[in-house]
Structure 1
């Protein structure tokens, strides 16, 4: 059973009496401690929100250093003096709040442990394990020593899709064991669920496959002649796959790339691998850089393209690798997590390795060159950093789906299909969930972490050569409403929703929000 954690120590708060604020180092007193787990996609929004809600100068950020090149990939924490004029209804004036966020394990860790009221591993920051040195603006924390982590129930869960989709093919595998299905009745009786933001996903393909698709579709007259191979700066020059073609690939129904027939002119069909980029391939087997069961990224792809687990007889995603005939489906840790890639960075490496004939990610031991597809959110591989500066891109590119580019504008207009609404959730108070100050803060996070003013700043990093992508604020959340024409730079809000009444279900076809004044769509 979970209870609010309020420290008896109030010394740090008392120091603020004269209006002076200091960043909160690991040993500072904690008045309210909150534990969150699940999908990484909302992490930046939560961090941005704490920057708004904290007393100026009081916020310190903590990231795990398990991978020094990717600090915070598994755990992070935000520690500050919360401004009670910005979070109204708190029992304490300007309390010191420590907000833990576990990202390890992805979306499923924001669902199943809450359903089971199960303690999971979280990062501590007060074990002498965190230090800050220049040029870092944050603390790096070790996880390897006794006391660096603690088993604790999560107050808040975050997932890329609504919690009841984590069943069947989406139920996670932990330590080689398939976890129990989440049921709709469990969710309705145990959890309060709040939609977070819309997030655009897509189908990335190796750069050599991208150029081959361009070459073949130019030959067919489907994209303009003269498009530069590899170019994705002009949406007209981007190749497209249909939803049915993507479904067939993700389900493992296409063993090799020459199963795709390229008809030009009369009845003859050219071998697909005879097009640009095909000559350097190790073989023509399809490679699929999918995610593990329990990944929200995999769950959304299963729902959008395979209608799984939305109906009992839905097609299953590919779950095995066939070295003889294909498809090839590598894994980052088959024994522990099942087939697939554990994180989005693993998908990055998987695609780049198959394109380049390398084995950075460990899934291409033969250093093969194969045409591969993957599943990623449009947060990835834009060529921009969080400040909008140009950075190097991996050797893969996103393709159009059903002729529409994966941009915010195409999603908002109802033309691009691959997007879902994320969720925040916590256990109901009646079954031991958060109450009091903890609940007040969680409700504020759920309401504001995905508001347009935060979302638009996060999207700077997701400005692809072909257009703006990333997150969408929801018109179902408070006073948000889409503007016409759609304004990605200032108001990335969408009037479409998978929510009907009080229920959000990403298995549903998105329809226009019927709230007065918001039932408008771009044609």
Structure 2
């Protein structure tokens, strides 16, 4: 019976093949549509896994930074992306996507980055209405470019840029840099604190199927101006002026907590031991509450939520008790400026803009984001952030990420139409596919350094993709409050 059901789904979907998934085809009732939200830190990895299953007709839609809805973004696609294509034939798909009625199907994946990991947790579990990019002839304009990822690219090439959003549904699936239990207290988005300040309750957590994905490498990033200053003063892993700059985890935490916001009094950049510009304004490029990247940063800087200690609110600006979302600064002229971004792309832009102003700035970014001209990663306590240093147990600023979806949604879809069944199959299969070493080996080279496969996904030190990606360290049962430990 199961084989006949799958065969029927394949036949139904094959009827609707197309050579190009333009706006009309992407919106067609015969296209399998999946709405995802959450972690922007790993968006490029997720996109790479999707794209490698495409046979033809790839279009990538990005939010247009010139439009009012996305005016606070530094780059196109920082808030929202949509990937659509005709998938490969059944036998050519990733093994986790086979046998689910997806061969030769038209599939479109909406991915909301805005708001970060919390939208892939609260909006999925409760569920709450989410904001998605509108793909329409009135909202989207062709860029004239061919969609895709160049081998060394950190961002995709968009075929369309779109300016409108809609809020009509909750996400089908959510991605998170950390487990759902991390989102409480200062890790809860401002608009949800009143209802979910204590986090999801047991019933809500049990409504989710949670699939561990991979280990995400996080790092401290600084503006190129600060990077160069640290190098010039020999504050590097090898004590020369040519090595990778290194800073103390203690100092990084103090800066991110705002405890050294008076550089003219010997605080601020003075703690890094630099000789030039130590009195200049401290600029913090961070994520807003609800971000998995920020949750990881809060754990590094304050031990939250793994400690029972009372954690103060995050850092504030000189003239205000709230952070700012203005990418134009000011990055000079005061003591402290704190920028809060809705996505990883926003933080990259903050660091770049600070550098353009000749200013020093510090922030947190996942290493799957390639360094840019305006900012660079620094080592922590002499250890360079990288997949290899993580998987060998030398670097521990990393989180075990997850994907989650509602059990009730899968039950509902599995009892529906051929399109519904294929959608359920994609959600379940993709959740497993994103963590496979063989799939991680196919993503853009710029993104590979920021992810390691979980130890159970293969053999550490093995051949091929296993040898490249499989980690020998793990956290107990995916609990990011437990220390990384060598797996036997």
TM-score, normalised by the number of residues in structure 2: 0.77
Tell me how far apart the structure 2 counterparts of residues 431 and 95 of structure 1 sit (CA, whole Å): 19
What is the root-mean-square deviation in Å for CA atoms of aligned residues?
3.8
Contact 2:172/2:409 (<8 A) preserved: no
Tell me how far apart the structure 2 counterparts of residues 93 and 376 of structure 1 sit (CA, whole Å): 36
Of the three residues 273, 284, 289, the one matched with 1:288 is 284
Give 1:184 shift: 5.8
Deviates more, 1:201-210 or 1:66-75: 66-75
What's 1:13 paired with?
A: 14
Give 1:111 shift: 1.0
Contact 1:320/1:339 (<8 A) preserved: no
What's 2:23 paired with?
A: 26
Tell me how far apart the structure 1 counterparts of residues 141 and 272 of structure 2 sit (CA, whole Å): 52
Contact 2:178/2:399 (<8 A) preserved: yes
For 1:265-280, list aligned pairs within 5 A. Answer: 275-278=274-277
Of the three residues 410, 424, 447, the one matched with 1:439 is 424
- Report SS of the residue matched to 1:447: helix
Tell me how far apart the structure 2 counterparts of residues 492 and 92 of structure 1 sit (CA, whole Å): 27
Deviations 1:265-323 (A, max 9, x none): xxxxx966994432xx7x44433222211111111111233210112215446332235
Tell me how far apart the structure 1 counterparts of residues 352 and 78 of structure 2 sit (CA, whole Å): 20
What's 1:64 paired with?
A: 63
List structure 1 segments (4+ residues) > 6 angstroms apart after TM superposition: 175-178, 258-261, 270-274, 430-433, 486-490
Structure 1 residues 482 and 332, CA gap change in structure 2 (3 angstroms): farther
For 1:316-465, list aligned pairs within 5 A. Answer: 316=312, 318-322=314-318, 330-332=324-326, 340-357=340-357, 370-383=359-372, 393-394=373-374, 396-429=375-408, 435=414, 436-458=421-443, 460-462=445-447
Structure 1 residues 194 and 133, CA gap change in structure 2 (3 angstroms): same
Are 2:186 and 1:207 aligned? no
What's 1:493 paired with?
A: 470
Contact 2:40/2:343 (<8 A) preserved: no
Structure 1 residues 256 and 215, CA gap change in structure 2 (3 angstroms): farther
Contact 1:242/1:402 (<8 A) preserved: yes
Gap regions ≥5 residues in structure 1: 1-7, 232-236, 262-269, 358-368, 384-392, 463-467, 514-518
Tell me how far apart the structure 1 counterparts of residues 356 and 51 of structure 2 sit (CA, whole Å): 40
Are 2:45 and 1:45 aligned? yes
TM-score, normalised by the number of residues in structure 1: 0.72
Are 2:436 and 1:475 aligned? no
What's 1:188 paired with?
A: 205
What's 1:265 paired with?
A: none
Tell me how far apart the structure 2 counterparts of residues 457 and 415 of structure 1 sit (CA, whole Å): 25
Count residues in correspondence. Answer: 440
Of the three residues 163, 173, 187, the one matched with 1:143 is 163
Pair member with larger Rg: 1
Structure 1 residues 332 and 481, CA gap change in structure 2 (3 angstroms): farther
Contact 2:175/2:404 (<8 A) preserved: yes
Contact 2:78/2:345 (<8 A) preserved: no
- Report SS of the residue matched to 2:15: helix
Tell me how far apart the structure 1 counterparts of residues 485 and 312 of structure 2 sit (CA, whole Å): 26
Structure 1 residues 339 and 173, CA gap change in structure 2 (3 angstroms): farther
Gap regions ≥5 residues in structure 2: 1-8, 68-73, 148-157, 328-337, 415-420
- Report SS of the residue matched to 2:294: helix
What's 1:240 paired with?
A: 246
- Higher relative helix content: 2
Deviates more, 1:63-72 or 1:154-163: 63-72
Tell me how far apart the structure 1 counterparts of residues 296 and 112 of structure 2 sit (CA, whole Å): 21
Structure 1 residues 317 and 457, CA gap change in structure 2 (3 angstroms): farther
Contact 2:78/2:346 (<8 A) preserved: no
Tell me how far apart the structure 2 counterparts of residues 275 and 339 of structure 1 sit (CA, whole Å): 23
Tell me how far apart the structure 1 counterparts of residues 84 and 121 of structure 2 sit (CA, whole Å): 24
